[in-house]
Amino acid sequence: MLKTEPIMINFGPQHPSTHGVFRMRVTFDGEVIVDLEPIFGYLHRGIEKLCESKTYTQIIPYTDRLDYLASMSNNFAYVMAVEKLAGIEIPERAQYLRVIVAELQRIASHLIAVGGFLNDLGAFFTPFMYMFREREKILDLFEMVCGQRLTYNYMRIGGVSHDIPPEFLPALKRFVDEMPGYIDEYDQLLAENEIVLARSKGVGVLPADLAINASASGPVLRGSGVRWDIRRADPYSIYDRFEFEIPVGKMGDTYDRYWVRIQEMRQSVRIVRQAMAELPQGEVRAKVPATLRPPQGEVYARIESPRGELGFYLVGDDSPHPYRFKVRAPSLINLTLLRDLCIGWKLADAIAILGSIDIVLAEVDR
């Protein structure tokens, strides 16, 4: 029998944006992973501490940079926290516009998550480019609304910065009419693809009890069969007015995490259709003082972002800026499971497992 010794390899950057922000220190026995330590680096910006010296309104653009693939979601969660702290009521039209852009953002984020995951499986860029095609249409819609395509700064304390232009709803209708057909196309290409199945079925299984104990959320948790979605479990904004399903996996493997995201895109289209049909007229922003000074107190507001539970904890002290500002970032929490998912698998599998978690490193950094 051949005697071998474990070898340790520092692996990275592999995931985009892992230049110094994240690497894996992997110990191999031959080709098999026997240990893995995820090492988080720094982007050298300290957003949480920076925000404690900014006014409540000045903080909004900083939230765009936390999860830059779901900037609308970050805006949404943060302004909800401030509104809860200050007791601000939101106009009905603004509530509907927030839901519309948040669900479009979920679709755009999942398109990148699924396309990047398939790239990690070795599909190179063909599926990725297909999904970029639809994401561009969503970015066109966001550009109509706020003039930006990545960091939107669209939400405002008390509502949104602008009402939608006249051309927005016709363009949105075209998109929601077309998108289900494109999702069907992805399913035809990928759901029964031999390589996708071989690389993802049974790989990186996350048991439901471990997912719960590790505070996992989003598609990572629902892929393990746990039907937990904050839009249903603890409804915020006006989500309790809409009908939608919560897709869950069966095995908790890499494939199920991919499958859940595909199905969630279908449900987001469904929510957007309902919000469009019910969209009322009226103001899009409440009257809020130019310099907001919320009373003393502490709040936690959370939403179901594309990656899971995104929460903002604020402590107010009657001043124009928060005394304490903390973020519960789903990428950070979900990434702590990487070691458990990878032990016993090979290096190529670790890349697929990491891709199935769908992290954005800017919200992992602290």
pLDDT single digits (tens) 146-197: 999 999 999 999 999 999 999 999 999 999 999 999 999 998 888 888 989 9
DSSP state of 281: P
How far is residue 163 from each of residues 73, 80, 95, 272, measured CA to CA in Å? 18, 19, 12, 17
Report which residue type is found at 124.
F
Kindly list the structural domains of the chain, giving each domain's residue range(s) and its CATH number in brackets, ordered by start: 7-364 (1.10.645.10)
pLDDT of amino acid 333: 95
Averaged pLDDT, 102-107 = 98
Is the pTM for the entire model greater than 0.85?
yes
Averaged pLDDT, 106-134 = 91
pLDDT over 70 (residue 19): no
pLDDT single digits (tens) 146-158: 999 999 999 999 9
Q: 366 near 221, Cβ under 8 Å?
A: no
Q: Which helix (H) or strand (E) holds 111?
A: helix 92-118
Q: Where are the alpha helices (DSSP H) in 119-249?
A: 126-146, 168-190, 194-200, 208-213, 219-222, 230-233
pLDDT of amino acid 17: 61
The radius of gyration of the chain from alpha carbons, rounded to an integer in Å, stands at: 21
Share of the chain above pLDDT 70, in %: 96
**Of 195, 312, 215, whose CA–CA distance to 258 is shortest?**
195
pLDDT single digits (tens) 33-85: 999 998 887 766 688 999 999 999 999 999 999 999 999 999 999 999 999 99
